[in-house]
Amino acid sequence: MTKRRKIILTVVSIPLLGLVALLFSLYPFIAEDVAFLRPLGWLDLPEARPYMEGEVAPGYRNAADRARDLLSNHVRDINVPAFSTAIAVDGKLVWSAASGYADLKQKRKATPNTLFRIGSTSKAVTGTLFARMVGDRLIDVDAPISSYVGDLPNPDWAQLTPRQLASHTAGIVGYEENRDLLGVYATMRLHNSNENVAEGLAYFDDSELLYKPGTEFYYSSFDVNLLSFILQEAGGQSFQELLQERVRRPLGLESPLPDVQHPDRAEFYHIQEGQAQRWRDVDLSMKLASGGFMATPSDLALLGVAWLDDEFISPETRRQFWTPQTLADGTVNEQNYALNWRVSEATESIPFRYIHHGGVSKGSMSWLAVIPEQRMAIALTINTRVWPFPRWLSVFPELVHAFADSTSARLQSR
């Protein structure tokens, strides 16, 4: 889009922008809290939730039985349409299961093959491609991104580095600070279909940097959108082609995929007081790399555990990507964020260091964690939102403990 056309469209959009923003911000509250609207498309959440088990590896039957009870009780406690999870150990899937309904209206049961929106867990997916390209010396984490793209749409971006983008220390705006009015409108409406990640830059390229790169931390999906464009340019193929050839194909994965209609895709819901309403239709292609993928938990767990395979990602690359990044003053950033991953040290509930990323999307939540000491990865997904975020995730440490004994015995016998 030319600059002149963007200016004209911006001027035309200004009178409507405030009204649109108000309507979109009020939509969830209107839909959920106004009693007379409740009959319009609201469905009762069934009291009983079907359970479907997928993979159970030899030696994990007892852990799987314990996990089934944990999952069934948790779904009842948080009252969500569907919950699906998977655990991989030492490069192989050892357990997968789903409870509830992928589609309440059609009474379609969730299965381990159901695809869920994964929101910002997409950042770890993009980080996996980034790490693979670093390992193949196709991109340098500390080279200015102008080394890969001569003509960037915002000159302030020229000296940014992939490391700064992947660690959210570049100073790129977030949704709230974006001053590109067309971008603000597009990110609220979510109806634009983008075939190439380059198109997504137009939604924030008119905004100035928030601070001098490297001096502060600010979590922004736009960071990773720009990073995906740089990966594309450095790799000489489209972002999706690179992901297929360097991540999905080597690991034998069917997902992550762009969030489009698919026979195994879940429906996504608002929930309120034992009822659910289908989320409005959206197009997430404008933020594919940062929040637009859908996946099965099984594929996410296999992607996560592949980080422990030295042939897939070298120890040096893994160390680099899993080291929390420091700011210019020498302090570690406030979220212990590394490169496309967060890092958590051992606690009383999880006595292992783990590397993770969570995601919230339109009617969904997801979580992917890698536990190096156990050579384990675990993925969890639901097809609604539950607040606060830790509430739906409270089963995570229990599932880890359910499998830790079996995993430790397996590793000791190697």
Q: Is 381 left (phi over 0), alpha (psi -120 to 50) or beta?
A: beta
Confidence of residue 182 (pLDDT cuts 50, 70, 90): confident
- Is it the case that residue 97 has pLDDT exceeding 90? yes
Contact 367, 396 (CB under 8 A): yes
pLDDT for 312:
98
pLDDT, tens only, 30-43: 443 444 454 568 99
pLDDT for 178:
85
β-strands 364-371, 376-382 pairing: antiparallel
**% of the chain at pLDDT higher than 70:** 89
pLDDT for 14:
47
Please give the DSSP secondary-structure letter assigned to residue 67: H
Q: Mapped to the 3 state alphabet, what secondary structure does 303-372 carry?
A: HHHHCCCCCCCCHHHHHHHCCCCECCCCCECCCCECCCCEEECCCCCCCCCEEEEEEEECCEEEEEEEEH
The CATH number linked to 278 is 3.40.710.10
Give the C-alpha separation, 391 to 413, whole Å. 36
Contact 115, 99 (CB under 8 A): no
- Is it the case that residue 16 has pLDDT exceeding 90? no
DSSP string, 384-402: S--SSHHHHTTHHHHHHHH
Q: Residue 364 corresponds to which tokens in the numbers above? A: 């969904």
Phi, psi (5° rounding) for residue 134?
-65, -45
> Average of pLDDT values for 186-202?
93
Give the N- to C-terminal CA distance of the chain in Å, as an integer: 58
- Is it the case that residue 12 has pLDDT exceeding 60? no
- Is it the case that residue 120 has pLDDT exceeding 50? yes
pTM for this entry:
0.90
Count of domains forming the chain? 1
β-strands 342-344, 269-272 pairing: unpaired
Give the C-alpha separation, 297 to 295, whole Å. 6
Coil/strand/helix, residue 202: helix
For 385, the domain range is 3-412
